């Protein structure tokens, strides 16, 4: 074994960070570049088409190296996330000019916990889901971290698989003990789209830990929340506290929901009806493409939610139909309303970034303008 006292400080730093994030690609800042070493370098080179070289770590040790400029991080992150990778970004925290440079992970980027606008599809939700099954029953929790939407349910196992299809999550958390059996099914139940499967320690789904975690955060758990739904929601909180602790605080409500309140749509029905994608695999030619005349990202995401969850309650269905009919008949008001809607920013997501402290000055200004627009809409 190599004497640790002979290992250069930079190498020791990297190995310690990699030990803490073994299942992630570690991008390690060295000056104006983020570098990846060892197996991560091979992965980065293969997936991004980067030149693979080597770097001396001390007098005799040479390790594989691939790097990307700091200024183009977001561009390369987007490609890695689309391929399902999870990335730990380790930045230099010591002011320039110091001989010994302290580095640490400043953020973790996973497919289901994206917040950067450049990495998100503006008009689509980006869900992180958590799945847990026991016997014929299963629990499911889902969070959209950019908007604060957090909900959980429990139902027959097959109904929960169908729900995964409807959601099309970017990332699914499952217990590590069933990763091989349950994890292999997830791509089929998300219509083949790239859902990253993330196994967690079984402890993350433990009933006692989940109740304690949710109770401490929300003050109380909704009394109608089923046991497996609680455990699935607890696993999401466990994962977010590990990867995105700043974002946990913007979750202020956990809502139970019942699958029997909506029409059941299995994967084959969704595909054959071409609700979200045509048979060519594109949005163009789908029912969504025909109906989506929305003017805001929030409206587009809501329309998708309505299509994803067809109502079966006649009272709610008639109320929605009457509201649409009223707007259809009020043409002058409708035109004025749409003119104002076109001026709105993505209020849901900007508020989320304000809460997490990651909003840009431009976004804060846009939020102020949107608040004035909303006041004008209410006055109509």
**Are 139 and 96 in a shared domain?**
no
**Are 150 and 54 in a shared domain?**
no
Q: How many domains does the chain have?
A: 2
Q: What is the CATH number of the domain that holds 16?
A: 3.40.1170.10
**Are 21 and 140 in a shared domain?**
no
Q: Could you read off the pLDDT of 307-345 as tens digits, one per residue?
A: 988 998 999 999 999 999 999 999 999 999 999 999 999
Q: Report yes or no on 205 lying in a domain.
A: yes
Domain limit, last residue, from 109, 133, 157? 109
Distance CA 131, CA 229 (A): 9
Q: Is 284 exposed, middle or buried (0-12, 13-18, 19+ CB in 10 A)?
A: exposed
> What range defines the domain where residue 188 resides?
119-261
Q: Report yes or no on 46 lying in a domain.
A: yes
Q: How many residues does the chain have?
A: 380
**Are 127 and 61 in a shared domain?**
no
What are the E-state strand segments in the chain?
A: 25-30, 33-37, 53-57, 61-69, 87-92, 103-109, 128-134, 137-144, 149-156, 171-175, 196-200, 255-256
**Are 86 and 157 in a shared domain?**
no
**Are 123 and 105 in a shared domain?**
no
**Are 98 and 29 in a shared domain?**
yes
Q: Report yes or no on 101 lying in a domain.
A: yes
The per-residue pLDDT for 3 is 47
Q: Could you read off the pLDDT of 98-116 as tens digits, one per residue?
A: 777 889 999 899 999 998 8
Distance CA 248, CA 356 (A): 9
pTM of the model: 0.86
**Are 99 and 128 in a shared domain?**
no
Give phi and psi for 23, each to the nearest 5.
-95, 10
The confidence band for 73, taking pLDDT boundaries of 50, 70 and 90, is very high
Averaged pLDDT for residues 341-351: 92
Q: What is the CATH number of the domain that holds 213?
A: 3.30.420.110
Q: Could you read off the pLDDT of 160-209 as tens digits, one per residue?
A: 988 888 888 999 999 998 877 776 667 656 655 668 889 999 999 999 99
Averaged pLDDT for residues 217-228: 93
Name the 3-class secondary structure at 57.
strand
**Are 183 and 253 in a shared domain?**
yes
**Are 132 and 237 in a shared domain?**
yes
Lowest mean pLDDT, pick from 119-128, 204-213, 243-252: 243-252
Q: Report yes or no on 298 lying in a domain.
A: no
The strand pair at 61-69 and 53-57 is best described as antiparallel
The confidence band for 216, taking pLDDT boundaries of 50, 70 and 90, is very high
Q: Report yes or no on 133 lying in a domain.
A: yes
């Amino acid at each position: 074994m190599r004497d640790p006292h002979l290992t250069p400080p930079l190498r020791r730093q990297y190995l310690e960070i990699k030990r803490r994030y073994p299942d992630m690609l570690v991008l390690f800042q060295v000056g104006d570049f983020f570098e990846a070493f060892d197996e991560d370098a091979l992965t980065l080179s293969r997936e991004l088409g980067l030149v693979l070289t080597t770097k001396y770590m001390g007098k005799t040790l040479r390790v594989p190296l691939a790097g990307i400029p700091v200024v183009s991080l977001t561009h390369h992150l987007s490609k890695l996330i689309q391929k399902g990778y999870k990335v730990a970004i380790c930045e230099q925290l010591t002011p320039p000019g110091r001989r010994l440079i302290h580095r640490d992970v400043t953020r973790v980027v996973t497919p289901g916990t994206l917040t950067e606008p450049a990495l998100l599809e503006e008009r689509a939700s980006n869900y992180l889901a958590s799945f847990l099954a026991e016997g014929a029953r299963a629990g499911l929790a889902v969070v959209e971290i950019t908007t604060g939407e957090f909900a959980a349910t429990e139902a027959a196992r097959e109904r929960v698989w169908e729900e995964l299809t409807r959601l099309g999550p970017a990332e699914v958390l499952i217990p590590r003990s069933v990763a091989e059996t349950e994890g292999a099914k997830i791509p089929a139940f998300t219509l083949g789209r790239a859902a990253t499967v993330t196994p967690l320690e079984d402890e993350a789904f433990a009933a006692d830990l989940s109740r304690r975690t949710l109770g401490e955060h929300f003050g109380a758990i909704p009394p109608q929340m089923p046991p497996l739904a609680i455990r699935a929601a607890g696993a999401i909180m466990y994962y977010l506290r590990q990867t995105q602790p700043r974002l946990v605080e913007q979750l202020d409500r956990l809502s139970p929901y019942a699958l029997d309140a909506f029409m059941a749509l299995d994967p084959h029905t969704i595909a054959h009806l071409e609700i979200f994608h045509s048979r060519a695999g594109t949005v163009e030619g789908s029912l969504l493409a025909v109906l989506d005349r929305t003017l805001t990202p929030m409206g587009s995401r809501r329309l998708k939610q309505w299509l994803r969850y067809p109502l079966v309650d006649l009272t709610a269905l008639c109320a929605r139909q009457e509201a649409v009919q009223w707007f259809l008949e009020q043409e002058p008001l409708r035109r004025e309303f749409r003119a104002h809607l076109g001026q709105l920013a993505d209020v849901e997501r900007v508020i989320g970034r304000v809460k997490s402290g990651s909003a840009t000055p431009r976004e804060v200004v846009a939020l102020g303008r949107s608040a004035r627009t909303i006041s004008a809409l209410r006055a109509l």
